[in-house]
Structure 1
């Protein structure tokens, strides 16, 4: 189909080119005069009929021609009054005429002269000698020179009213004296072509070249555009665009309804929004791709993520996951606004969150320091936990994030937490035996049980969130390569500190000063459960969110600032209905050091 379209387009271009060429080509004869006799072109100064040829005032009337097209035989062009000369070609460029004359073969003796017969005229063609005669039986071609002969040369003719070189872009050249006398001829200037004997007869050759080049460029551009459209359509279909459109229609269209205004964007829309994905529009880079700031046609600001790769299995589930994610509407989850499917790896469009990431807030000097209110840290942690709890328990089907880390928690202008980047997210598997072929995540945050079993569960997100909470309370990076090996992982340092009863020393100064002994023990116990090697021993995200919110309430109470007794009222404020196991200890295999950089993929 595409080949047929290209062929049709080529034929159209060639037709337009031929039409344009015909339009720019001036007539070779005077207006109203025939310019052909059969298949022979008759250019002025030659002409057929009265007032169609140049008259030099000579009796020969050499430019007047006759065309005999009355008989059944092909039309025959002759000089006026000389029917024995049949014209085959008239050339303006060489000032020559090719004619056929009747002739009879004869034998020529160089010593005794011609062997009998008429000796008035002889000619030699192809090393044979012919005698010209009216009753000859052979047509012999002759090439004759012609010129304008009313004046002897260009100098004499140039300033006369009847100067033959009429075109603006023409030159005159002298014809040396021959049997017919002296004269001059005309040709077009360099770079021009046509009939110099007519006004406006010489036209620029470059016009045709430019026209042809322009047509070829248009054809190439059209073919490239057609190929680009086919490529986009191929990606769109491969990425499930047709299915997604059908599903969106069944949910009530692209605006309003359960899809919440989810939109399928074109590549051009996103290029325009990001100034063709300019470097100065980059908000951040991660293991899954690059995030750009963009401004859509309606002036709304968005974040556009260009992903690096996608597994074939992910591609098959992509449309279903996008539709489900588009329906997530939680104040602590970055809203997915749409996607672009016309590229090899789909691009995602999110709501724009203005204040950067929690990682930047903790480590980038964007606001968090030892004096930052403890309540702010606990609120950010609680809001992040609530978002993950919502995804785990309220979404249908449940959604697992798969790459929880401080770089994937954004903060708005009021420091409200918003969990983002579901590039590694998965719908909770229906089959208990379903395992991943490619383990994805970020070193330092990666659940060791997931790393060993290749089974992503909600408890994998719990482990990663435990690392986030630890990072938030200690203001230390999750991986450090400067110290001894046992201190490389923040989780390992925490485990060792808990075993030694010195975990309080690992906390940031602001946490130690603002958090009482009971609250510190409570949060340490929560962290201990979150980063357990055994996923079954980890709490659910809903419980974590509730405990963090209870801890916030406790900290806001006057008792939360003191080291008072462990009263029943304090336990109630902390949300504990039963005495926790204060003697919870890590087992030896719970200490795990993870090495590596940012995001890694482990092939299984």
Structure 2
């Protein structure tokens, strides 16, 4: 594990150690604290682009003129340090155009810093619900490309990375957008490595209400199908511009699947599209994406498609106008998330708000 060598490659290196490390072909750079202080203007508040329970994210520019984002842990708790170690290890293992790139890290003394590629168009959440929502920068083509890109990144984690990786926190705030509005799946602090031959794990529940698969929320049973469920929620969020959970006037909560399913069953797909699109969308593509989303959020985990299948459906169905698989017996493929029972089973409630910045994302 990467963490096991932090003590020898962290901030307290002598020149010979640093020279030795630089001669090894690491997929990331080991920064000095001085470099990151200079890049972020001593973590100046004007450089802060996000803040959450774990700490803050700062924009910076290196001496070579490269824009970076630096995640700085707020406190050195055992939990925070473990998430730091997990994220660095996961990102050091993977390389894909739709995953947020790890540039490097610093680990020394009481500082734990992770350095990423900077994403100038911030998070998907900021465009759907945050400070950029009113600018309507996400037209239909961009939304479709973001959906496909995020699906391909997730498919890589499930089917190509070795060992396979379950993200466990797929949501709009963890999909970042580069200068061309291409999707980059981010934030691997909750990720799980799945050894070959293991179908699922039972673990402590972490994540965000509204995105959690029912079997995971209730019993902590986690598998690739949990990420598929979360991605289905994300698809509906992308095309509709609605939040995963909404509070109704009577005080009850309704999730986005419950809202969208009646429209899908009556083929009234126009009612699902984000009004900000002003009817500028492809009706066939909208129908296909919604149908895929409802298959992904099937209440039976075994009935959900794999992410490899989702990518094929998205790319093939949207480009060739093929019909997507129909919903089974025109029934709602969904099991409600019981928030009360979820919270009873969730022993660490603060995890639900993990890394929720002022716009809810890894950074704005």
What TM bracket, shorter-length normalisation? Answer: 0.7 to 0.9
How far the C-alpha of 1:266 sits from its partner, in A, is 3.2
Q: Output the CA distance in 1 between the equivalents of 2:85 and 2:137.
A: 46
User: Quick check: 319-328 or 527-536, which moved more?
Assistant: 319-328
8 A Cα contact 2:102 2:117, kept in partner: yes
Whether contact under 8 Å (1:410, 1:418) holds in the other structure is yes
Larger displacement relative to structure 2 (359-368 or 335-344): 359-368
Which deviates the most, 460-469 or 292-301?
292-301
- Evaluate the alpha carbon distance shift between residue 318 and residue 592 of structure 1 in structure 2; reply closer, same or farther with a 3 A threshold: closer
In the other structure, the counterpart of 2:166 is 400
Change (3 A) 1:403 1:309: farther
Deviation at 1:457, TM superposition (A): 1.9
* 2:285 and 2:318 in contact (8 A); partners too: no
Q: CA deviation at 1:302?
A: 0.9
Look up the SS of the partner of 2:210 in the other structure: coil
Secondary structure class of the residue paired with 2:50: strand
Bigger Rg over Cα: 1
Q: Deviations over 1:304-330 (max 9, x none)?
A: 112357885885796576345224222
**How big is the shift at 1:474?**
0.6
Deviation readout 1:181-231 (Å, 9 max, x if unpaired) = xxxxxxxxxxxxxxxxxxxxxxxxxxxxxxxxxxxxxxxxxxxxxxxxxxx
SS at match of 1:346: strand
> Contact between 2:269 and 2:286, CA under 8 Å: does it hold in 1?
no
2:282 maps to 1:515 = yes
Tell me the residue number matched to 1:357: 123
User: Partner of 1:583 in structure 2?
Assistant: 329
User: In proportion to residue count, which structure has more helix?
Assistant: 2
Q: Residue 446 of structure 1 aligns to a residue in which SS?
A: coil
More strand by share: 1
8 Å CA contact 2:201, 2:222 repeated in 1:
no
Question: Residues 290 and 491 of structure 1: is their aligned pair in 2 closer, same or farther, counting only changes over 3 Å?
Answer: farther
Q: What is residue 325 of structure 1 aligned with on the other side?
A: 91
Contact conserved, 1:469 with 1:527, CA < 8 A, in 2?
A: yes
Q: For 1:291, what is the secondary structure of its paired residue? A: strand
The answer to whether the 8 Å contact 1:440/1:600 transfers is no
Who is 1:173 aligned against? Answer: none
Aligned-pair CA distance for 1:492: 2.7
What is the TM-score normalised by the length of structure 1?
0.49
Tell me how far apart the structure 1 counterparts of residues 335 and 206 of structure 2 sit (CA, whole Å). Answer: 21
> Compared with structure 1, are the counterparts of its residues 493 and 581 closer, same or farther at alpha carbon in structure 2 (3 Å cutoff)?
closer
RMSD of Structure 2 on Structure 1 (CA): 3.6
CA distance in 1, matches of 2:96, 2:229: 22
* Residue number among 336, 346, 366 corresponding to 2:132 in the alignment: 366
CA shift digits 1:44-64 (9 cap, x unpaired):
xxxxxxxxxxxxxxxxxxxxx
Given the superposition, is the C-alpha separation of residues 388 and 533 from structure 1 closer, same or farther in structure 2, using an over 3 Å criterion?
same
Matched, 1:601 2:358: no
How far the C-alpha of 1:387 sits from its partner, in A, is 0.9
The match for 2:48 is: 282
Q: CA deviation at 1:582?
A: 6.0
Say if 1:388 and 1:541, in contact at 8 Å, map to a contact too: yes
Q: CA deviation at 1:364?
A: 3.3
CA contact (8 A) 1:486 1:593 kept: no
SS of the residue corresponding to residue 473 of structure 1 reads helix
Cα distance change, pair 308–534 in 1 and its aligned pair in 2 (3 A): farther
- Quickly say closer, same or farther: Cα 1:238–1:547, change in 2 above 3 A: closer
For 2:337, the equivalent position in structure 1 comes to 592
Of 539, 549, 553, 2:319 maps to: 553
CA separation in 2, counterparts of 1:446 and 1:381?
18
In the alignment, structure 1 residue 476 sits paired with structure 2 residue 242: yes
Work out whether residues 355 and 415 of structure 1, in 8 Å CA contact, stay in contact via their aligned partners in 2: yes
Structure 2 unaligned spans of 5+: 11-16, 343-348, 353-364
Alignment of 1:93-112 (within 5 A): none
Partner of 2:193: 427
Cα 1:433–1:379 change in 2 (3 A) is closer
SS at match of 2:108: coil
Higher relative CO (Cα under 8 Å, sequence separation at least 6) belongs to: 2
Alignment of 1:222-301 (within 5 A): 240-242=5-7, 253-254=21-22, 257=25, 259-260=26-27, 262-301=28-67
* 1:345-391 deviation per Cα after TM superposition (whole angstroms, max 9, x unaligned): 73211111111111112223637777954222111110111111111
**Preserved CA contact (<8 Å) 1:289 1:307:** yes
| Change beyond 3 A, Cα 1:368–1:239 | farther
Q: CA offsets, 1:131-151, max 9 Å, x none?
A: xxxxxxxxxxxxxxxxxxxxx
Over 3 Å counting, the alpha-carbon distance change for 1:365 and 1:316 in structure 2 is closer
Distance 1:336 1:348 in 2: 8
Whether contact under 8 Å (1:487, 1:493) holds in the other structure is no
Q: Residues 465 and 551 from structure 1, CA distance in 2 versus in 1: closer, same or farther, beyond 3 angstroms?
A: same
For 1:435 and 1:310, locate their aligned partners in 2 and report how far apart those are by CA, in whole Å: 27
Pick from 523, 530, 541 the counterpart of residue 307 of structure 2.
Answer: 541
* Contact 1:290/1:306 (<8 A) preserved: yes
Give the alignment's TM-score, normalised by structure 2: 0.78
Q: Gaps spanning 5+ residues in structure 1: where?
A: 1-236, 555-569
Q: Are 1:384 and 1:417, in contact at CA under 8 Å, matched by a contact in 2?
A: yes
Aligned to 2:103: 337
